[in-house]
């Protein structure tokens, strides 16, 4: 494998993949594992894209799919958290937004995906629809309903 390509991919996508993993799985270590898995897939696949936007959308899709597969795995479903006394401090990828991020993570998957891609990653509704394989109207509905749920969860209009 080309070391320069590996470094470029890590520089370009590692933070994004860790954020996706953390949002989907709620655990920084699992998020790092997802990041590593996706980066290895990227290194093994010599695919070329016409522009960075398409490549980034593909990487996001790979990250989401990796998280879905991780959650379906027998290991993930059968594991038990460590006792609180044994828990180690875990870095939060978005510490300045921890309370809101926790609420976003508590949303149903369809709302969480749309909100994360729109407000944390900056994708437009049409781009999100393409990434998730949904219609733009459905993505807009998920964004609206997700924001309404967040507003209720946060107790008002402070974050709206």
User: What is the Cα–Cα distance from 100 to 121, expressed in whole angstroms?
Assistant: 15
User: What is the Cα–Cα distance from 131 to 126, expressed in whole angstroms?
Assistant: 9
User: What is the Cα–Cα distance from 30 to 5, expressed in whole angstroms?
Assistant: 24
CA angle 144, 99, 33 (to 5 degrees): 95
User: What is the Cα–Cα distance from 3 to 145, expressed in whole angstroms?
Assistant: 44
Residue 92 reports pLDDT greater than 50? no
Q: What integer best gives the mean pLDDT of the chain?
A: 81
User: What is the Cα–Cα distance from 48 to 57, expressed in whole angstroms?
Assistant: 13
User: What is the Cα–Cα distance from 37 to 69, expressed in whole angstroms?
Assistant: 11
Q: Which two tokens stand for residue 148?
A: 């309404």
Residue 84 reports pLDDT greater than 90? no
* pLDDT for the residue numbered 4: 86
CB 9 within 8 A of CB 43: yes
Taking only the tens place, the pLDDT of each residue in 98-134 is 578 788 888 898 998 899 888 888 889 998 898 888 9
Orientation of helix 136-154 relative to helix 98-105, angle to 10°: 120
Taking only the tens place, the pLDDT of each residue in 3-61 is 888 888 899 899 999 999 998 888 888 899 999 999 999 888 878 888 888 889 999 99
* pLDDT for the residue numbered 135: 93
Q: Kindly report the pTM of this predicted structure.
A: 0.57
């Amino acid at each position: 494998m080309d070391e320069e390509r590996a470094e470029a991919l890590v520089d370009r996508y590692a933070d994004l993949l860790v954020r996706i993993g953390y949002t989907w799985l709620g655990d920084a270590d699992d998020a790092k594992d997802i990041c590593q898995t996706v980066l290895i897939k990227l290194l093994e696949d010599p695919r070329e894209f016409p522009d960075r936007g398409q490549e980034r959308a593909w990487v996001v899709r790979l990250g989401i799919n990796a998280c879905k597969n991780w959650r379906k795995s027998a290991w993930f479903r059968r594991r038990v958290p460590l006792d609180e006394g044994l828990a180690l401090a875990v870095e939060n990828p978005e510490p300045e937004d921890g309370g809101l991020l926790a609420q976003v993570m508590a949303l149903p998957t369809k709302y969480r995906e749309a909100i994360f891609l729109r407000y944390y990653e900056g994708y437009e509704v049409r781009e999100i629809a393409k990434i998730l394989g949904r219609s733009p109207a459905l993505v807009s509905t998920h964004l609206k309903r997700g924001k309404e749920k967040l507003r209720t969860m946060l107790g008002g209009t402070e974050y709206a």
